[in-house]
Structure 1
Amino acid sequence: MNGSASTPDPASAPPAAGGAGEQLELIRAELKKSRSRPGSSAAVRLPVARIVVDKGLSHLDQFFDYSVPVRLDEVAQPGVRVRVRFGGRVVQGQGRREGGTLIDGYVVERLAASDYAGPLAPLSQVLSPEPVLSPELLRLCRAVADRYAGTLADVLQLAIPPKHNRAEADPSPEPPPSPQPPEAGSWLRYAQGPAFLTALAAGESPRAVWSALPGGEWASELARAVAATLASGRGALVLLPDGRAVAGLDAALLDLLGSGHHVALTADLGPEERYRRWLAASRGSARAVVGTRAAMFAPVAELGLVAVWDDGDSTHSEPRAPQPHTRDVLLLRAAEAGAAVLIGGFAVTVEAAQLLRTGWARPLAGEREQVRTAAPLIRTVGDHDQAADAAAHAARLPTLAWRTAREALTRGPVLVQVPRRGYVPRLACARCREQARCVHCAGPLEARDADGLLNCTWCGRPEADWRCQECGGVRLRAQVVGARRTADELGRAFPSVPVRTSGRDGVLVSVPDAPALVVSTPGAEPVAEGGYAAALLLDGWALLGRPDLRAGEEALRRWLGAAALVRSQRQGGSVVVVAEATLRPVQALVRWDPAGFAAAELAERAELGFPPVSRMASVTGSPAAVADLLGLLRLPEGADVLGPVAVLGGARGGDGPGRERQDRVLLRVAPGRGAALATALKAAQVARLARKQTEPVRVRIDPPDIG
């Protein structure tokens, strides 16, 4: 608890009858009373405010008690923002603190007395009378901090947006009446779809992993699930990977329910508008919230449904400490509120498959006949096919892909998915695919656009006569050909067809139903009016060859997301994927069987003891700092320590001269021991701070990149 006191002189205590022992006891009693009694200016009723301060240090992850001055008695209510003086020294008997720093915090509760024996410093200021930290939100943030070995202050920074006076002063409108339960609509394509909506409308809490059928109906189907929940008098929260997906669901909800029932929360909103919409949910004006990961803590009242779309997308993982994942936060909220759960997407993550395997959730998928009706025709071009394809040696577009694009361009746009943007960032040997490196410094080589010569990206020296150090080959190939280079090549191959690009330099939302080549990086594919006539998924090996446990899962997710935008096979839609046909992700794409792929991946990970069957944490920092933390760490019984391994620049795969070396260690524990692992990691961090070890060590529970 907060506060420090100077000890009164026992000689100044009032005299008392009896012996020395009795006098000493009276002095101790009087001293205890003086320490626990608030100052004379403190509120009469509930004079103590328990505060969580905005200090994200592990050893300060606790509540602190302050006295409530009479002038702040009415406004210093639980949940409001306050400012307190932290540190320094409380002046005995004067109710003030000398020194210290003014910091922000939140009132957790009001108490009649403090269990701290010293004098309490007073609250300095109530910043706003708006109660923004409800007991439900506080419990959620505490649970997230404990799960991810973080601090409550860090989670509160993610959960509560900054205050904006003008938005706070404006009243929120009255909530509209509950809508009527919606019709099943396109949920009829799923055997259990209508029953799922009926259960939501009846106030029940079904839990489902939804394998969405190809096409653009997913936004309408999510909107109907939200409408069914609102019809039961409960609230709903839906999280999506990006602003384009939020805009699609927002439009579907407006079309189905009209305005007033929901708000859309995204990180790119201005601070005033974001806070105004957040307040609408907090005050109960809007009973449904849709948004990106910034909305995972949105204060939805009487939560009846939590849903996440495309939970395998990396944007669902928060990069700021303690780096929670939206899926896990929603599962915590569902367990606390007894809400329904819907985890949906064209792909199925291994984490979702684990929920199905344990029986915690039920599958929600279309029958095989529905899949065949909705999916496009998918064909493959493997390494053997390209070796026998003379055209593939002259150009990177195999004959099958070229013919498919040429025929489809007579009927509409063609999507071309390329794993990377730009031109040719890295080169590799054409025979063994070993990365081409400089003979002087071992830096990676690149072909610059201006002269076409090989140059080292580290030392800048040109490489005139390169030869592979592994196999002696002299021919090079592009390790990953970027979207802009692909657009240039396709423009020359189809001179009369417009070529459009969508990626980091500019993402297209939609394209018209007209012949065009749309070159896109994964995740940036625009929606085509009426669907694409065909899609070419190039350089599949670049996605599959990543040194990551999730490489196959991620490749399939990217391919399914692009293929879902293509017209069905009955409408003439087709997809060509340039990858070896015998690989499991490619076979799952051909069969359109994401659930089967996820189940097989889960079975393999269970044999190897990898997440999500086990729990893992990564520890990254300088070798000395990592060793120091491991020396203080008291791991649960049976825990495995994997590593350390060197990572350059603190990022996996980063390389370059002059970058500080950092080590990474993976910690693995058995199922059910994740909480103990998080507790041990946090205790070790507190111990390092107590020993004045301030060199940072990055700790992450369930890291997404397990190579």
Structure 2
Amino acid sequence: MIDHPSLLGDLGPEEPEVPDDGTLRVRGGVTPASEDPIAAVLVETELPHLARAFDYAVPETLDAKTRPGVRVRVRFAGRLISGFVLARKDRTDHVGELAPIERVVSTLEVLTPSLRTLCEEVAARYAGTLPDVLRLAVPPRHAKAETTALRLPEASVTAAEVFGGLALTASPDEPPDFHDWLHALGSWGGDVEPGTPPTAHGPRAAMAVVPGSRPGTGWVHLGLRAATTALAQDLSVLWLVPDYRELELVLAHLDAVEGLREHTAVLTADQEPAARWTDWVRVLTGRARLVIGTRAAAFAPLVDPGLLICFDDDNDSYLERRSPYPHARQVLLTRAQQQRSAVLLLDHGRSVDVQRLVDLGWAGEITVPRDQRRASAPVVLVPDEDAPDLRGRIPGRAFELVRAALGRTRRTPAVGPVLVQVPRAGYLPVIACARCREIARCPACGDRFTAASLLGPFACRSCGHRSPDFRCAECGHSAVRSVVDGLEKIHEELGRAFPGVPVRRSGGHHVLQTVPPEPSIVVATTGAEPYAAGGYAVGLLLDTLWPGPHLRATDAAISRRLRAASLVRSSAAGGRVLLLDEDPAVQKVVSRFEPIPWAREQVHDRTLLGLPPATRTAVLTGERSDVDEVLAAVSEAGALTPLLETDDPYSLVLSFTIAEGPSVTRRFAAEVVSRSMRQAGRVHVRIDDPDAL
């Protein structure tokens, strides 16, 4: 193994080893610091076998600035690159001259002990490297922004003094369980001493939110109630949301709370570098105590962390697209364990992962009584016979509901905007042969085939059959066409049917954030539904919404339907939803607005079958021989069960128990390092990919 960066790369003949006589030798005749002249530096490298600390000499001139946690520049393999100082020490195992630290990038200690511990555990869980996780956790530095942020005045009063008298008005929709949880949060927070970690875990709970008096936005009010309670106890709050639309919604609500916005930092991957680094430094230095952001904020370096809030935890936006692909929900749960923070998980539905935490007792359940849930949810209609035909046309019942919402009938339960949800890009629910127009059928069971695109692949949601291509049973043709109307076609048809009524589109590159409360029609793709002031009067959820042939397909369909239905007014306010989904599970959950029984049932079934979240998974991708080598080596650390195997490229999905998880992921990481050192065939390892099955 390489012992020092001075011996890496094509640097000419290797220097002769010098016997260790106790004298520190520094390259270039640099005078080292008198005390702890050695710095252990973690260089920012993408090579797994170099993701460890290297010893560098601390020049006397940089002694005061070189503290653990600061960024430095060092000479590595002949190049000047960045790194983090992990520790100062008085001796080194390296034999020979040490390279000196070239310069200290900033005296700001960005890698705090708690952040380092968090990143190390995330790297270990996902079989990644610490430099990879640090690239996600610590944004690129912006010198001018850092100077500006550090010049901002530090808080002259504590958060408790600012928010101690603040009490947001309780919503009539809040169940008693939520009041109890808030009381527990306040009592726990009052016992936490600023600057010291809590001695006990904060209260942790999950809640499935119903529309009530704030259709689609009730979760914001609940989150603010929780956040201000924690802030009043001088604790910091981290609030994760899926994307910019939810972020803008929360920020708009913050403006209504006096003094809260100036204590808030926003962290997203889409921010300009200067803005992101400014807010990151404000959080690090305690100038901002409330952090709101997308998955990029999951590692925010909070001072006195007290409460972690996550909305819509199973949203695909929370999955990091860069190695080692951590999920923001898991980062939050790891923080909660390490820092003993309180946790509030809000959603319109209930993910299977969160339900397992509730079943295990890790998190409590904030229950909405059934009667209150029914009254706070819209009336969901599931037609038996007036369903849309296979050509995807809008049924007559839908037109009746739209006319009522526009005030064009004698019986008008509610007048206001109408939401029309159409499937977004993804699996086409109904396809037909492009030549003879015969509906495409599954060759295994005869049910309708679906397709990821007009070019495939194709899948059956009934029996699970998959195929990379299609051949018509009637004429033998291989091309298909979609027979389900999309955004443009529905928009055009509704415009002709209701002349003079505003018909808006939301989807693709044109996504609306909000729409006014006046009667109108909004056609939106899944996930692009705008918020309506006061809620929609009617929601039309068209076609069958199936995200694809994977384990989470029905979970995702239920979640997306509930999100759209939650934008509609309550039944007491006349809200109506027409659900045109053929999946019995989707119909049952959405029509009753009861996602928890479904999630509980799925946890039970998947536990019996040995599937996530009761087990963990690893996906190995590479040449078959290389994958077999890694599999043989890692099998010694725990039992690995093959679940799925695919070709082109070769990929193998394995499962292993949660108890054996730490030993298995450590062994996977060690094999990646070993193969990197030997320059063996690369095997890509991905741990706990939600869409692995």
TM range (shorter): 0.7 to 0.9
SS of 1:519's equivalent?
Answer: strand
Name the counterpart of 1:434: 441
Q: Hey, what's the Cα distance between the residues in 1 that align with 2:110 and 2:38?
A: 19
The alpha-carbon deviation at position 62 of structure 1 amounts to: 1.4
Residues 395, 699 of structure 1: CA spacing in aligned structure 2 closer, same or farther, 3 A cutoff?
Answer: closer
Q: After superposition, give the CA deviation of every residue in 1:437-480 in whole Å (9 maximum; x if it has no partner).
A: xxxxxx98999xxxxxxxx899xxxxxxxx96336699987365
Aligned equivalents of 1:394, 1:674: Cα separation in 2: 48
Amino acid across the alignment from 1:516: S
* Aligned residue number for residue 64 of structure 1: 54
Residue 68 (structure 2) aligns with: 78
Question: Offset of 1:501 from its aligned partner?
Answer: 1.1
What CA deviation, in whole Å up to 9, does each residue of 1:560-597 have, x standing for no partner? 1001110111211100111237x123201111111111
User: 2 CA distance for matches of 1:307 and 1:491?
Assistant: 41
Residue-by-residue CA offset, 1:236-277 (whole Å, 9 max, x unaligned): 101000112112222323322423222122222211111101
Between stretches 358-367 and 415-424, larger displacement belongs to: 415-424
Measure, in 2, the Cα distance between the counterparts of 1:83 and 1:191.
55
- Structure 1 residue corresponding to 2:106, chosen from 121, 125, 128: 128
Matched AA of 2:268: T
**1:207 pairs with 2:194:** no
Which region of structure 1 is more displaced relative to structure 2, 120-129 or 257-266? 257-266
Within 5 Å, which residues of 2 pair with 1:33-112? 33-34=22-23, 41-87=31-77, 100-112=78-90
CA contact (8 A) 2:428 2:451 kept: no
- Given the superposition, is the C-alpha separation of residues 444 and 675 from structure 1 closer, same or farther in structure 2, using an over 3 Å criterion? closer
C-alpha displacement of 1:691: 2.5
Q: CA deviation at 1:188?
A: 6.1
Matched with 1:462 is none
Structure 1 residue 146 corresponds to structure 2 residue 108: no
The reply to whether residue 399 of structure 1 matches residue 402 of structure 2 is no
User: 1:192 corresponds to which residue?
Assistant: 177
Partner of 2:612: 611
2:537 to 533, 538, 559: 533
Q: 1:187 to 1:621 in 2, by over 3 A?
A: farther
Counterpart of 2:209, as a letter, is A
Matching of residue 160 in structure 1 with residue 138 in structure 2: yes
The aligned runs of 1:614-625 (5 Å cut-off) are 614-623=615-624, 625=626
Output one character per residue of 1:472-520: Cα deviation in whole Å (capped at 9) or x when no partner: 6999873654222222232233333222111122110111112222111
Shift of 1:37: 8.4
1:698 to 1:493, Cα distance in 2 relative to 1, 3 A = farther
Determine the C-alpha separation between the residues in 2 that align with 1:631 and 1:586: 45
Aligned mate of 2:416, from 412, 415, 437: 412
- 1:469-618 → structure 2 map (5 Å cutoff): 469-470=472-473, 478=482, 480-543=484-547, 546-580=548-582, 583-618=584-619
Question: Would the aligned equivalents of 1:426 and 1:446 in 2 still touch at CA under 8 Å?
Answer: no
Is the contact between residue 106 and residue 133 of structure 1 (CA under 8 Å) also seen in structure 2?
A: yes
Q: 1:186 to 1:327 in 2, by over 3 A?
A: same
Q: Name the aligned partner's letter for residue 115 of structure 2.
A: L
Partner of 1:337: 339
For 1:496 and 1:644, the matched residues in 2 are separated by: 55
- Counterparts of 1:352 and 1:480, CA distance in 2: 34
Q: SS at 1:113's partner residue?
A: coil
- Give, in whole Å, the separation in 2 of the partners of 1:157 and 1:626: 27
Report the secondary structure of 1:297's partner residue. Answer: coil
Q: Which moved more, 1:360-369 or 1:620-629?
A: 620-629
SS in 2 for 1:634: helix
- 2 CA distance for matches of 1:187 and 1:636? 53
1:540–1:427 Cα change, 3 Å? closer
Q: Is the 8 A contact 2:427 2:546 kept in 1?
A: no
- Whole-angstrom CA distance in 2 between matches of 1:635 and 1:663: 23
Could you tell me how far apart the structure 2 residues matched to 1:172 and 1:480 are?
56
Q: Give the distance between the partners of 1:528 and 1:188, measured in 2 at CA.
A: 19
CA contact (8 A) 1:480 1:542 kept: no
Task: Tell me if the contact between 2:71 and 2:106 (Cα under 8 Å) persists in the aligned partners.
Answer: yes
Q: 1:244 to 1:457 in 2, by over 3 A?
A: closer
Measured in 1, the distance between the counterparts of 2:390 and 2:620 equals 45
1:227 aligned counterpart, secondary structure: helix
Q: CA deviation at 1:599?
A: 0.5
Name 1:19's counterpart in structure 2: none
Q: Which amino acid aligns with 2:441?
A: E
Query: Post-superposition shift, 1:535?
Result: 0.6
Q: CA RMSD in A?
A: 2.9
For 2:152, the equivalent position in structure 1 comes to 172
Q: Please state how far the C-alpha of 1:145 moved relative to its aligned partner.
A: 0.5
- Name the TM-score, length of structure 2 as normaliser: 0.85
Give the conservation status (yes or no) of the 8 Å contact 1:537–1:578: yes
AA aligned to 1:524 is A
Identity of aligned residues (%): 37
Compute the displacement of 1:409 (Å): 2.5
Contact 1:424–1:485, Cα closer than 8 Å, also in 2: no
* Equivalent position of 1:693 in the other structure: 680
Between 426-435 and 553-562, report the one with greater CA deviation. 426-435
1:60 corresponds to which letter in structure 2? L
Hey, what's the Cα distance between the residues in 2 that align with 1:230 and 1:702? 34
Distance 2:392 2:58 in 1: 76
Q: Distance in 1 between matches of 2:24 and 2:63?
A: 21
| DSSP 3-state at the match of 1:381 | coil
Alpha-carbon distance between aligned partners in 2 of 1:253 and 1:210, rounded to the nearest angstrom: 21
1:665 aligns with 2:652: yes
- Where does structure 2 lack aligned partners over 5 or more consecutive residues? 8-13, 190-201, 408-414, 444-449, 458-469
Q: CA deviation at 1:694?
A: 5.2
Structure 1 residues 327, 150: CA separation in 2 closer, same or farther (over 3 Å shift)? Answer: same
Q: Which amino acid aligns with 1:150?
A: G
1:549–1:705 Cα contact (<8 Å) kept? yes
Q: Which amino acid aligns with 2:122?
A: V
Matches within 5 A, 1:278-317: 278-317=280-319
In structure 1, the residue matched to 2:668 is 681
Task: State the distance in 2 between where 1:671 and 1:78 align.
Answer: 34
Counterpart-to-counterpart distance in 2, 1:673 and 1:367: 39
Conserved 8 A contact 1:347-1:595: yes
Note if contact 2:421-2:564 (Cα within 8 Å) is conserved in structure 1.
yes
What's 2:376 paired with? 374
| Cα deviations by residue, 1:17-70 (Å, 9 ceiling, x for unpaired) | xxxxxxxxxxxxx63424688966000011111111101222122111111011
Residue pair 2:17, 2:96 contacting (<8 A) in 1 also: no
- Label 1:643 to 1:567 Cα distance change in 2 as closer, same or farther (>3 A): closer
Give the drift of 1:421.
5.0
Distance in 1 between residues matched to 2:522 and 2:644, nearest whole Å? 44
Structure 1, gaps ≥5 residues long: 10-29, 88-99, 437-442, 448-455, 459-466, 647-660
Q: Which has the higher contact order (CA 8 A, sep 6+)?
A: 2
Q: Is the 8 A contact 1:376 1:573 kept in 2?
A: yes
Take 2:406 and 2:271, find their aligned partners in 1: how far apart are those partners? 38
How many aligned residue pairs are there? 630
Q: Is the 8 A contact 1:227 1:257 kept in 2?
A: no
Cα shift readout 1:344-400 (whole Å, capped 9, x = no counterpart): 110110000010110111001311122122110001135x653xx7xx467611222
TM-score by length of 1: 0.83
